[in-house]
Chain A
Amino acid sequence: MSSTTSAPVITTDKLTKRFGQFIAANELTFQVAKGEIFGFLGANGAGKTTAMRMLCGLLKPSSGKATIAGYDVYTQTEKIKRSIGYMSQKFSLYDDLTVAENIRFYAGIYGMSRPAIKEKTAQLLKELQLEKEAKTLVSELPLGWKQKLSFSVSIVHDPDIVFLDEPTGGVDPVTRRQFWDLIYHASDRGVTVFVTTHYMDEAEYCNRVSIMVDGVVAALDSPTRLKQQFGRDNMEDVFYELARKATRKAD
């Protein structure tokens, strides 16, 4: 799963987003290879979510270039949306629909056929061990289960890339571990995973990690090499080293 061998599925070149005078994301330039697990780190307010929303076609960039799965972020947003999955920071399943109904709805929106949806639903419920909860309203599930379901729903249409915005916030360590099993499983199938997190143990699970400080990418490499580069034992210390230099206030 080396980043240099396969063709990049995400390419950005000086990608920038300004809100008035404020530069939320400043000249981001990086590439992510197919099947890679790419960690996107940064303190609150560093510009992670803004960058991710631009890559998903939810937000128009101010300047710079970017292609996602070969599609341009300015002109081909709807084509990008066919090739990606997205799990937002906010919980985004319907509380008043059951587990199975949520899967069915999103699969249907992505244009899957009824037999395919049936098959996919059965498969997902089995993977998530939620077979007994198929007819339970999502509002009644514990948070960890909801997040795992959210992730599965975001890749229900087998996208090339999945964007995860702090998917494990507030989730217990055991469930977080299970969540990462799901991520590895998806990555093994060739899905590129672009994930933001505040947990440094999770950063260690990534193939490569970028650390954003004040809207710019301050460091980008594999966790091992980053630790070498900064002369630290763990990612936590590397993160502190960089994030301390931030002048922008956290939100």
Chain B
Amino acid sequence: MKTLIFLLEKEFRQILRNKGIVRMLIIAPVIQLILLPLAADYSVKNISIAVVDNDHSTASQRLIGKITSSGYFKLTGYTGSYKAALSMVEQDRADLVLQIPAHFERDLVRENTQKLYVAINAIEGTKANLGGAYLSSIVQDYNQEIRQDWHTSATVSIQDAPQISIASSNWYNPFMNFHLYIVPAILVTLVTAMASMQTAFNIVQEKESGTIEQINVTPIKKYIFITGKMIPFLVLGIIIFSLGLLVGWIFYGIVPVGNLGVMYLSLVDYLFAMLGLGLLLATYSGTQMQAMSLSFFFINIFNMMSGAFTAVDSMPGWAQAIVQTFPPSHFIKIMRMVVLKGSGLSDITYELGAMFVIGLVLNTWAILNYRKTA
């Protein structure tokens, strides 16, 4: 125990003395947390649409009016030829082409049916998907409207036909504020990068400079050495996390609904697992270059697969099983539950337990794999 205190004293001195690292560790996450949510916004706006109007009728004008007034689309082209619209897509001046056929209004009245043609530039998947979906829902709305208009004058009233209307309400995030969803997850990814990489680098640096050999020749216990390396980064992780919460509050107005104590307890549990990973990677790396490649490998996978940006539930079963072993997937879930829903300890027992088990495995592995005698 006394040895641990000397070890901690030394680690904190070294970290605090390294001004570059301190600055980077504090400022970088803050900047990233301010910038990243702006990019990771899935609501699509300003979709450029070119309309090929072959009808020039009241009905077509009304449809175009409805589309532009929706707020999602901006009309960048209005022509009479499909070819002209297509060249706009090629020049990237339009994302979508809506073709209104000739005699649109006439046939709609006469035959009670009419077809619209929509062409979507699918180079940007999300934009294409959402743009197409928005447009078809607008057209559906329009459909409903004109049917109502015209049928009221007809013999059969539409009100007589049975109708099912679905009303949905979004719980915990009633306005589907995307920031509320993404900021906690980005905060987790930032803590992830710091925790596993910095611990790994720190130890490997001692390997490179040769000081670790001097440590190995002392009677220090392995678990004390590992603990001494872990605690300083645990503290740093907590500081970064707290700064992140502050940024979320100041810039995005996010105030966690749940208990801060629950959040910090989960954070410590999470850091225990992620620092364990960093320590383990360090025992397998001889140089900082190796440590960097290894940690990038894991961090990339964690960031993309742990449900920060896409839902884990939509992955195939075997992939979901793998994701279960990723500590960030559990912590992101906990964060969202606590921040948005105000979940308590009893709601997150499974996630806390999973992270603890993973942490125990990683740390034990790291201690076993760290050899004082080669």
Contacts and interface: CB of A to CB of B under 8 A. Distances in A.
Given A91-B210, A111-B3, A101 B10 contact: yes
A112 B210 CA distance: 23
Question: Size range of the interface on B?
Answer: 20 to 34
What 7 pairs between A and B have smallest CB-CB spacing? A108-B6, A90-B210, A92-B214, A86-B217, A81-B219, A82-B219, A105-B10
Contacts of B216: 58
A77 interface: yes
A23 B360 CA distance: 40
B13 A109 contact: no
Interface string B199-218: 00000000001110111111
A108 B373 contact: no
Contact of B3 (A78, A79, A108): A108
Most buried by A among B3, B217, B372: B217
Contacts of B372: 57-58, 77-78
Contacts of A94: 10, 14, 211
B14 A97 contact: yes
15 contacts: A59-B374, A82-B219, A86-B214, A88-B217, A92-B209, A92-B210, A92-B211, A96-B13, A108-B5, A108-B6, A109-B6, A109-B7, A109-B218, A110-B219, A111-B2
Contacts of A84: 217
B18 interface: yes
Interface residues of A, number: 31
B17 A96 contact: yes
Given A58-B216, A78-B372, A91-B209, 17 more contacts: A57-B217, A58-B213, A59-B374, A81-B217, A81-B218, A88-B214, A90-B209, A92-B214, A95-B209, A96-B14, A97-B13, A108-B2, A108-B6, A108-B7, A109-B218, A110-B219, A111-B219
Contact of B374 (A60, A90, A111): A60
A104 interface: yes
A88 B13 contact: no
Interface string B1-38: 01101110110011001100000000000000000000
A84 B214 CA distance: 12
Contacts of B368: none
B211 A96 contact: no
A217 to B, nearest CB: 23
Contacts of A180: none
Contacts of B17: 96
A106 interface: yes
Contacts of B13: 96-97, 101
A59 B2 contact: no
B66 to A, nearest CB: 67
Interface string A205-231: 000000000000000000000000000
Interface in B355-374: 372-374
A56 B217 contact: yes
Nearest to A95: B209
A237 B227 CA distance: 52
Contacts of A104: 6
Nearest to A108: B6
A58 B3 CA distance: 20
Nearest to B208: A90
Contacts of A86: 213-214, 217
B40 to A, nearest CB: 38
A94 B220 CA distance: 17
B114 to A, nearest CB: 77
Contacts of B374: 53, 58-60
A159 B352 CA distance: 47
Interface string A144-187: 00000000000000000000000000000000000000000000
Contact of A88 (B10, B14, B210): B210
Contacts of A101: 10, 13
A108 B218 CA distance: 11
Given A81-B218, A106-B218, A88 B373 contact: no
A93 interface: yes
A81 B209 CA distance: 21
Interface string B265-284: 00000000000000000000
Contact of A58 (B5, B9, B217): B217
Contacts of A91: 209-210
A92 B14 CA distance: 15
A93 B7 CA distance: 14
A86 B213 CA distance: 9
Most A CB within 10 A of own CB, among B210, B211, B214: B214
Contacts of B213: 58, 86, 88, 90, 92
Most buried by B among A94, A109, A110: A109
Interface in B253-301: none
Interface string A67-89: 00000000001110110111010
B220 A109 contact: yes
A81 B9 CA distance: 22
Interface string A38-73: 000000000000000100111110000000000000
Contacts of A111: 2-3, 219
B269 to A, nearest CB: 30
Nearest to B18: A96
Given A58-B374, A88-B210, A109 B215 contact: yes
Nearest to B218: A109
